[in-house]
Structures are given as structure tokens and as C-alpha cells.
Structure 1
């Protein structure tokens, strides 16, 4: 990867990662290339229907651009994966380091956040390890730190029904430390006075579990259409936060992508 391309990728990833922050697809590293292809990318658009913030009972619809690219030297940049470097090991192993963005939360996102203040964007540093398990199953793991620490673990499965049609499903969970849970679900003394919520201090523990199902259709060789339905469940201390109005959020993500 040339220095100029690296600088361009670094400058663009802050904007592009906002899509990942909203769609919550930035938890794991996901290969955007078909088998046997060493370099390339996908560009398109994402339509996201999801809660206004984690725990909200209000939803919103957004349409956002999406770009991801992987270089044969191991570098990658984009919406899904952030910016980083991957190594392909033997026996279906992929691991590496990456930077991604936590775009925080704005008080204006919902009337339920009035008095809570804004959570400013924060750069996250982390590592990942993925392993093919056979039979279409894959194990994914990710460690991210910057606004507290998050550990993500997931298992996914994919199957081709025919050359142009594929189905996939997955389950995942996230563990968060007390700094992270306090940032998104806690209420400190100043916030309590401004918002009227009682003081709430969640501890470290399991933050959420989630499941998803996807259909991927490729009507043309270089184009793909993907529909993903997600179901989440907030767990542990965070589900008892006064900010949580719906502990079982649902999301729908529709994407169209051009592979190049």
C-alpha cells in the first residue's frame, strides 16, 4: 500500500466508519473479497432502520454511503472493517490490528437523552482473530478499546443455495468494562440533576447478545444485494438503566454494492 493511498484511507475512514457505528457492523473484521481474490473492494449504499440510540424505543431510517477496500499487502480500510492490517494464517485463520471509530451519541438524538449531554467521537484501537470451523461455520473475535474496553465473540454460518444466491446467519455477544457501560448506560450526579433520572452506575459484564439472518443476491457478476434482519437483547446491569426503553432492539439493513 503506497503512502498516498494510506493517507487517503486514513482521512476517509473517519467519515465512512460513521456508517458502521450506526449499523453496528464494525464489531468484527469481515472479508469483503470473494475466495481467491487478493485485492479489491466494494462500494455502494446502506439503508438502515434501527433504534436512535442503544436502548431507545424510537427508530429512524437512514441511507448512507458504504466503501471497503482490501490490498494484497494486508492493509484494509472502509466502513465495515475500519483501518488496519490483516494476516492470513494457515487453516483458515485471519488476524490483525485495526482502528475504528466510536461516534458516540448526541443529546439531540432523542428526547429521552435530554440532560445527558453528548458523547464525543472517539478513536478505538483493537485486534481481531477469525477462524474457519468447517461446514460453512466461522468463529469471529474482536477486542476494542478507547471508550472503555469491548470484547466481541461470534459464530456465523453461510450457505450457497445457488451461484447467485446465498443465505447466512450468526449469533454474537459483547462484554464491556465499567467505563464503557457507564458512558452509554450510566447516569452520573450532574446528568441526574440535568435530566431528572436517578444516579445509575452499571458495572462490567455482558452487555448484549444478538442474532442476525441475511440473504445475499448477486444479479450480476459485480453487483450484490443484501438484506439483514437483526435481533438484540441488552443484558446484565445495562438493561436496568433508566435510559433503556427497549431492551430487545431490532434492526433491518439493506445494502447494494458494486465489487471492483
Structure 2
């Protein structure tokens, strides 16, 4: 099997990669050279349907399931559009590393109409974020770090996922697994987990002050399978546990989080 390189991605908890930032809270492995089997040109294109399973809102005991287009488009390993990363650029790149930026859409949100427990807390809207990222691969291990900055003034502040993945190709499969954590600033934790005096009066929940710190620790898993030269299926899963301000918040109903993205892509 051809050697594969990996870049940082929230599909977003997740990804999802989160990571989607709003699906997968951390990076998942991406086989950047997977499309090479279908051609050696600078353009690499893979498209297909996907489905996302993610918490209804941070700390919610409810989950939501919705379709999501699975995209993996890149040009010369420089420009790319992948999952929630609408448009990105690898400003620096090499055989084992990438450093760059992307405009990423974050679906992480909260609607007080979805759950009586949220009444009086107000809504939090998803939106675009600026993503800065870096990853480095040594042998089978890939370390990655990213910073997501809310640029839509929705009170989502900054989050920084840090991850380490071990990846092993076995026949037509690629398996990746590894730990990670997410740091969040005070604005993010206040928006999703804090309770102001006004919110307390409206919701009946106690006042709860927050600050910056570790939002969660998590374990990422990823598997892809090449059905043929053109077809590939993949599943990315992140299992997380809320920490510190997020875990102790009266808004939080469930400390454990499960984010999943499953997709089938056609490589052109």
C-alpha cells in the first residue's frame, strides 16, 4: 500500500473532525494521498454522502443525526476544501508536516427550544471560524494542533484541540487511534456552560461562573476501507469526557460525548 500522509482536520465534535470543529472536537486522520490511486495530477477530488451523529448541544444528553456532504478536494497539497473546512491553504508543507489556515464552518450551537432544561438560557448560533493548524508525522505517529477563533461574534471564543494519532495500514484498510484534549477560553465556556444572574432568574438554574481551561479529554478513532480504485468508505469516531468548568456546569446533563462521521466517497 502506498504510504499515506495526514493533515489536521475537524470533522467537528466533529470532525468531524469535529474534527468538524462543531462535530468532532479534534482532528481525524485524512489519507491525503488516497486519491492518487485514481490519478497523479495536482487535483485530487473525492465526493460522497455522509452522516453525522453529535450531541444536540455541548453537555446535552440528547443527540442529533443529520446528513453531511463528505468533501475532500485539494490542489497540489496547497489549497483544499474538506469537511467543515470550506477553504484552506497549507502555507508551509513538506513530506511530514503542514502549517496553514482555513475558513471553517462550525455547527456547534444551542437552541433553548430543543430541551426544557435549556429554557431561559438563550440561543447560541453556529457560524464561521478562522482555523490555524499545524501537524507533523513521524513514522506512524501524527501530532496536530489547531486554533479555532469565532469570527461571527456568536460568543464562541477560542478553542484549541491537541491530538496524537497512531496510524497503521492493513491491506485495503487504514486504522488510526489516539488521545487528545481541547482547551477553551473563558468566552467559550461562559457562552456554553456559564449561567449569569439573568439566565439564572429565567431558567431556575444556579448562577455559575466559568473561566478558561481544559474543555474535554477524548479518544479519536478512524478507519477507512478502499472498496475499489474509486470508492472508499470511512468512519471517524471521537469519544470524549467533559472536564473542569464544562463538567461541573448546571447546564451539563451528560459529561460523556460521542461524535461520529461516516461517509462513502467516490474518487475522481
Instruction: With the length of structure 2 as denominator, give the TM-score of the two structures.
Output: 0.81
Local SS of the residue matching 2:198: helix
Q: Which residue of 2 aligns with 1:109?
A: 114
Shift of residue 97, structure 1, vs aligned partner: 1.4
Shift of residue 62, structure 1, vs aligned partner: 2.1
Q: Verify: 1:254 aligned to 2:262, yes or no.
A: yes
Shift of residue 200, structure 1, vs aligned partner: 1.0
Q: Which residue of 1 aligns with 2:23?
A: 23
Q: Verify: 1:143 aligned to 2:152, yes or no.
A: no
Which residue of 152, 159, 167 maps to 1:158?
167
Local SS of the residue matching 2:20: helix
Moved more, 90-99 or 152-161: 90-99
Question: Matches of 2:23 and 2:106 in 1, distance apart?
Answer: 12
Which residue of 123, 130, 141 maps to 2:128?
123
1:211-233 deviation digits (Å, cap 9, x = unpaired): 02222111111111112332101
- Contact 2:235–2:263 (8 Å) recurs in 1: yes
201 and 251 in structure 1: CA distance in 2 versus 1, 3 angstrom threshold: same
CA RMSD of aligned residues (A): 2.6
Q: Which residue of 2 aligns with 1:92?
A: 96
18 and 152 in structure 1: CA distance in 2 versus 1, 3 angstrom threshold: closer
Shift of residue 105, structure 1, vs aligned partner: 2.3
Local SS of the residue matching 2:121: coil
Q: Which residue of 2 aligns with 1:182?
A: 190
Q: Which residue of 2 aligns with 1:13?
A: none
Local SS of the residue matching 2:256: coil
Moved more, 61-70 or 193-202: 61-70
Q: Which residue of 2 aligns with 1:133?
A: 138
1:94-138 deviation digits (Å, cap 9, x = unpaired): 11111212333222333322221111233222311110121x110
Question: Matches of 2:136 and 2:17 in 1, distance apart?
Answer: 24
Q: Which residue of 2 aligns with 1:173?
A: 181
Question: Matches of 1:125 and 1:251 in 2, distance apart?
Answer: 21
Which residue of 83, 87, 90 maps to 1:83?
87
Question: Matches of 1:212 and 1:73 in 2, distance apart?
Answer: 24
109 and 157 in structure 1: CA distance in 2 versus 1, 3 angstrom threshold: farther
More helix by share: 1
- Structure with greater contact order relative to length (CA < 8 Å, sep ≥ 6): 2
161 and 28 in structure 1: CA distance in 2 versus 1, 3 angstrom threshold: closer
Structure 2: segments with no counterpart, 5+ residues:
1-15, 151-155
1:175-208 deviation digits (Å, cap 9, x = unpaired): 1110111011111122212211111111111111
Instruction: With the length of structure 1 as denominator, give the TM-score of the two structures.
Output: 0.83
* Structure 1 segment 14-93 matched on structure 2, within 5 A: 20-24=20-24, 27-28=26-27, 31=30, 33-34=32-33, 38-72=42-76, 74-90=78-94, 92-93=96-97
Shift of residue 169, structure 1, vs aligned partner: 0.8
